[in-house]
Amino acid sequence: METVSALRVNSLYKVYGNRADKAMEILRNSAGRDEKLAGLPVTAAVVDANFEVRRGEIFVVMGLSGSGKSTLIRMLNGLLPPTHGTVEVDGVDITTLKPAALRKLRREKISMVFQHFALQPHRSVLDNASYALEVAGMPRAERRERALQALRMVGLDHCADKLPQELSGGMRQRVGLARALAAGTDIMLMDEAFSALDPLIRREVQDQLLELQAELGKTIVFITHDLNEAMRLGDRIAVMRAGRIVQIGTAEEILTDPSNDYVAQFVADVDRTRILTASAVMERPLGVVDVNSGPRVAARVLRETQTSAVYITGRDKRYLGTVTADDATRAVRDGLTNLQEIVSTGYARKVDDTTPVADIFAPCAESPAPVAVVDAAGRLAGVIPRVTLLSALGSISADASEHTATPEPADTTPTGSDTAPVPVQVVAEPSGRLTGEPA
């Protein structure tokens, strides 16, 4: 049976020193590290790591220098043997493999991109990109073709005959990325792969990685000490401190619900409006009408909800647009029976549920009705009234300054007594009722 996860780590430890067994006994029975190991000639680099990496995701391990993240990633492909615990790759525990079997697994399943490029200066860019295939014994013509294809993916096929020293730092890092892509493995480990690059070049390479990931769907474990990089790249993020993983979650989860004060302080300076998305601040759309219901139903819902427009959905709840009170009244008066004729796509602006909060302010200001939020399938997922967006922004700012977790979206909803200096369009009350402009 196919395993759900590409990588699974269970109770993983790495302790350096000749009293590792004694240290393991202490660590298993203590949440601390340094104070309990005082006097022992050991260093606990990784302590009780447990996580799974899903197929096709970018899993970022983030922490300060000395937190154990680089030691952790080197145990994921067997470069370092663990003191205790298991690492499963596609269901195979690599800690039990003999050297030959481990080398075979690395060739076929796991490739690695290093921080300092690790290119051979006397080899051309093409030969560097094809090196892993050469070690695997692939015929020259075939490996060069695959390497050239990988260089083409990263935009360096025109540099195939150059030497590494003829390239910029960003280009050399892309050669390292091409080498990993040429290997054809499903799993890529990237240890501080972009940290040696200048900020602008670094962002370009990050963009390229995201584009390649969207196309290829690799499973990537990415190590970084840069918080913004982690938030930008990671589908999920593991935060490490003193060898332990203290929290695993999406960027949004870590920002809104940090597990402890350390994580809260770590993310305190992040621009939350660039990380939090529409799905975090949207409300449940109450005034929703199926397109086949007709103008009379739309008019009745408008009266019941006391709003200026209802949201129209079609097959599979796909969002089609809105119908205003004036249009519904006119359609009933004219004897129309089809809502499709009066649905408007211009009255309420629309955003994806993954749109950053920072990019919602303009659509919200331009939209007479609350902004419609749609999911990847085009279904209506929620709405964002202006007052709710401003209230959520206030909560984000207050929480950032206090280093505390952001409340859940439902708790940010203002009550009917709210005096925000913008017209209230549709605000979902905790009781489930609506307030707003009369129809």
5-270 and 279-436: identical CATH topology: no
CATH number for the region 5-270 comes to 3.40.50.300
In this prediction, residue 285 carries a pLDDT of 87
What is the SS3 assignment for 53?
strand
Which residue type does 233 have? Answer: L
DSSP one-letter code for 159: G
Percent of the chain at pLDDT exceeding 90: 56
- 279-436 fold: CBS-domain (3.10.580)
Q: How many CB atoms lie within 10 A of CB 346?
A: 9
In the block, residue with structure tokens 């809105």: 322
Contacts of 364 (CB under 8 A, 6+ apart): 349, 371, 384, 386, 389
Which residue type does 403 have? Answer: H
Name the nearest CA neighbour of 90 among 57, 52, 36.
52
Domain boundaries along the sequence of the chain: 5-270, 279-436
Residues 394-421: what's their mean pLDDT? Answer: 43
Per-residue confidence at 61, pLDDT binned at 50, 70, 90? very high
For 13-45, what is each residue's pLDDT tens digit? 999 988 888 888 888 776 555 566 767 888 889
In this prediction, residue 363 carries a pLDDT of 93
DSSP one-letter code for 370: P
**Beta-sheet pairing, 5-17 with 84-89:** antiparallel
For 164-187, what is each residue's pLDDT tens digit? 999 988 888 889 899 999 988 999
- Measured distance CA(208)–CA(297) in Å, rounded: 49
Nearest 5 degrees, angle CA 435-CA 437-CA 439?
Answer: 110
